[in-house]
Amino acid sequence: MTRSFYVTTPIYYVNSSPHVGTAYTTVVADALTRAHALRGARTHFLTGTDEHGLKLEREAQRKAMTPQAFVDEMSVRFRDLWPKLLCRPDDFIRTTERRHEEGVQRWWQRCVDNGDIYLGSYEGLYCVACEDHKTEKELVEGNLCPIHRRPVERVAEQSYFFRLSAYADRLLKLYRERPEFVRPEGRLNEVISFVEGGLKDLSISRTSFTWGIPVPGDPKHVMYVWFDALFNYLTAVEGDPQRKDLWPPDVQLVGKDILRFHAVYWPAFLMSAGLDDAQLPRTIWSHGWLLTGGEKLSKTREGATQGRGTTDPVRVADAVGADVLRYFLLREVSFGQDGEWSVPALVGRARSELAETVGNLLNRALPFTKHFEGRVPHVAAEALTDADRALETLAATKAREAADAWRDVAPHRALEATIELARAGNRYFDEQAPWKLAKAHDTARLAAVIYHVLELVRIVSLMLWPATPSKSDAMRAQLGLDPVSPLVDVDQWPVTWGGLAAHAPVGTPSPVFPKYDAALEAQIFKELDVTTETKPAEKPAAPAKAEKPAAKAPEATEPPGPITYDELMAKVDLRLGRVLTAERIPRKDKLLKLSIDLGEPAGPRTIIAGIALAYAPEALVNKQVVVVANLPPRDFGGGLVSHGMLLAAGPSDGLSLATFEKDHAPGTRVK
């Protein structure tokens, strides 16, 4: 049976232009869609714009425009952005469209018919930037909204209410029976505590402004913008006979700021409208924020990037290419966690992973096809060695790992598996030394080695396609292959070896990624307003004291110059971790391989630390440690990659690990 995959992004407020934070969710949705399409699913990707409410009415007034003219102009900026980022939504819904307005009015009426909407009066606080009601308790110093740091408004007016309080038990039963309804797990717990804390009925209409969908039968009320907006996911598909059966959505991506609306109000509205549990969305996937200087990157904080570059996705895509921006967003942030926006970090990733690992592998292997008349070499079975077979097995393993990670909405893990495979390809190339085989006229071995590398690049190009579609196609062109083209019911995920046909002509070699040398880096930094001194690590940073002589006299080194607290928090991500397992590494006396829980949805991290002379592995299990969590991975060779560094001090045989007096949850940030 054909599998379908329906994914949604939030519909974005059009009060100002999109930024890389907005682009983040859409890029993830697009990449997930591509990954599922490549596996043969019938996919549907919905995004759009949220165009009603007080915030937009006021913004239009400020611009001396009618709300309609204003939202028309702004919505286009979103619609036009997505193709520039190689995103291909199947539908783009605007809440000012007729299909939506009429649909929402019907859903409202269903809730009325069910006895869940009643007239009352609302008195309380409201944050226009959030379009959300607030309680005194939630406010921060100066009576400000904790998210936007802006004053809230006092509202007192007649309002329709939604009987949210009646749904607490059914919601709790839903979370219990279908824990995958909210991901990641930690967020599910937050949602459960919120509902267990008691649900109050929700004010869902306003009379003090007019820019909204009129309440059926009482048009002096307009609907609360969230009641209107949430139903977009349904109104976009219900009217179309071709799309109706896509319901319910498989994955609804939302930022953590709007999880409550999606995990509490949204299912309650649907329950009230008569949907049974099987018709509710399958998973609300809440992700973290892109940060600038430790704070949420938002429309109101544009420019506050501490010199780490513009947040305008169009400028970034123009300067480095949409593939590279997409790759960075998907790879850099552990999906579900917060991550820092930084152009230098983006260039660092592009250099070390895309150019020097993936592009390089193709560039190195392709010229050798001249020994085979510019064709894919044919491999004689008797020329195969254990190293070749090991590479084939690794490719299958990594392809499966990446497929599972895409399915589990973990793009960073999928791409990590992809890059690990490309790294293994480079190691294989070095070890097999085809230049020596060519010199020795060992054509049979040369054919086997070059075939293996080219086939590996084919596999990597498919595995990268969800993230870097145009670069994947460029690599494929050089392999003599057509662009990737998903087909419903055909699983093209590259788990089987040998897709590249022997004797097929290859294309002309040319670098798929530029060489990110100092000149190009300087040019990108200039174009993208990078003013910080921070440079991406040329070489990945060292782990805790690993294999380094003990610093005998720490005082002898010059202390670095002063930095601000914001700089510290922006640059160094220190987290508490708990050691789950620790083991020695054969032939590496000083190193231990640790598995450390940092509370991340992606699971524990592997960290290689140079602490074996000071700690027995068994003494470490369950220990609370301090981890530098935002260093690039460091490859120790032999499949050992460290994903972080432990803080420690002292000589290597008397080293002591930093820890805290009291226990705190894994993942707690050190501040």
Write out the residues near ligand ME8 by the rule CB under 6 A: 10-13, 21-22, 24-25, 50, 229-230, 232, 254-255, 257-258, 289-290, 296-298
CB of 294 to ligand ME8, least distance (A): 12
Nearest to ligand ME8 of 161, 261 (CB atom): 261
Nearest to ligand ME8 of 333, 355 (CB atom): 333
CB of 502 to ligand ME8, least distance (A): 46
Q: Which residues pair with 179 in a beta bridge?
A: none
Beta strands, E only, 517-616: 574-585, 588-597, 605-609
| Cα–Cα distances in angstroms (integers) from residue 358 to residues 399, 514, 634, in the given order | 15, 12, 17
CB of 447 to ligand ME8, least distance (A): 48
First to last CA, the chain: 52
Tell me the residue type at 280.
L
Nearest to ligand ME8 of 287, 351 (CB atom): 287
CB of 311 to ligand ME8, least distance (A): 9
Distance CA 412, CA 415 (A): 5
CB of 22 to ligand ME8, least distance (A): 5
Nearest to ligand ME8 of 22, 306 (CB atom): 22
Nearest to ligand ME8 of 46, 657 (CB atom): 46
Distance CA 467, CA 86 (A): 9
Nearest to ligand ME8 of 297, 417 (CB atom): 297
Strand order in the sheet with 132-134: 132-134, 117-127, 153-162, 202-203
Going by the DSSP 8-state scheme, the letter that residue 411 receives in this structure is H
CB of 623 to ligand ME8, least distance (A): 33
DSSP 366-424: GGGGGGGTTBPPP--GGG--HHHHHHHHHHHHHHHHHHHHHHTT-HHHHHHHHHHHHHH
Helix extents (H) in 511-564 = 518-527
Nearest to ligand ME8 of 254, 475 (CB atom): 254
Distance CA 580, CA 595 (A): 5
Q: Which residues pair with 607 in a beta bridge?
A: 594
By the 8 A CB rule, do 74 and 209 touch?
no
CB of 297 to ligand ME8, least distance (A): 4
Contacts of 657 (CB under 8 A, 6+ apart): 611, 615, 623, 625, 626, 646, 647, 648
Distance CA 577, CA 597 (A): 5
The first and second tokens of residue 24, run together, are: 């983040």
Nearest to ligand ME8 of 49, 360 (CB atom): 49
CB of 131 to ligand ME8, least distance (A): 7
CB of 10 to ligand ME8, least distance (A): 4
Three-state DSSP at 212 gives coil
Please work out, in degrees rounded to the nearest 5, the angle formed at the alpha carbon of residue 296 by the alpha carbons of 186 and 323.
Answer: 90
By the 8 A CB rule, do 95 and 12 touch?
no
Q: How many CB atoms lie within 10 A of CB 507?
A: 16
CB of 24 to ligand ME8, least distance (A): 5
Helix extents (H) in 285-359 = 313-320, 322-332, 343-349
CB of 504 to ligand ME8, least distance (A): 43
| Cα–Cα distances in angstroms (integers) from residue 590 to residues 541, 542, 577, 643, 660, in the given order | 17, 14, 21, 18, 24
CB of 406 to ligand ME8, least distance (A): 19
Cα-Cα-Cα-Cα torsion 407, 574, 595, 467, nearest 10 degrees, comes to 20
Distance CA 586, CA 401 (A): 25
CB of 296 to ligand ME8, least distance (A): 5
Helix axis angle, 313-320 to 518-527, nearest 10°: 160
By the 8 A CB rule, do 28 and 411 touch?
yes
Nearest to ligand ME8 of 25, 624 (CB atom): 25
Size of the chain, expressed as the number of residues it contains: 671
Nearest to ligand ME8 of 254, 421 (CB atom): 254
CB of 566 to ligand ME8, least distance (A): 17
By the 8 A CB rule, do 545 and 647 touch?
no
Nearest to ligand ME8 of 302, 547 (CB atom): 302
| Cα–Cα distances in angstroms (integers) from residue 106 to residues 58, 202, 506, 571, in the given order | 28, 19, 57, 50
Nearest to ligand ME8 of 232, 342 (CB atom): 232
37 Cα distance to chain centroid: 18
